Homo-oligomer: A and B are copies of this chain.
């Protein structure tokens, strides 16, 4: 039987991206620095289910210039996480300066983006009653 291991995304700022996923409740489980190849691989997972991971690839910028900017594509859609309380999660993200692109107006679904614009879907475990300020919060940009 095959086994799902991880989804890999490329990141331009490792610390910023780790903080983003930590706001969602994920924890770092493994980190490998490759001096020769000049890249770092960092794996995060949800506590209690360390088998399904997100892998961050950080290519060290060239010593004489700036790093690559990672464009998005349409064939990849998003990563989805179930959360215990979508309002609390979105509030924690907002307080840390993360834009809620699609607020949880329905008490069930929200979309945000990582610092490199990877779309993240948040899904409430069950459904909460619609509540302000979320119920009347407009969308911001795309997701």
Contact = CB atoms under 8 A, between A and B. Distances in A.
Interface of A: 1-10, 24-26, 45-49, 51-52, 54-55, 57, 68, 70-84, 89, 116-118, 121, 123, 125
Given A2-B81, A83-B2, A75 B7 contact: no
A118 B10 CA distance: 14
The oligomer's copy count stands at 2
The prevalent SS among residues of A at the interface is strand
The 10 closest A-B pairs by CB, nearest first: A73-B73, A8-B77, A70-B75, A76-B76, A72-B73, A2-B25, A4-B52, A5-B80, A70-B74, A3-B82
Given A2-B84, A3-B82, A48-B1, A76 B73 contact: yes
B73 A123 contact: no
Contacts of A10: 74-77
Given A2-B25, A46-B2, A49-B4, A117 B80 contact: no
Nearest to A122: B2
B52 A52 contact: yes
A130 B105 CA distance: 54
B75 A9 contact: yes
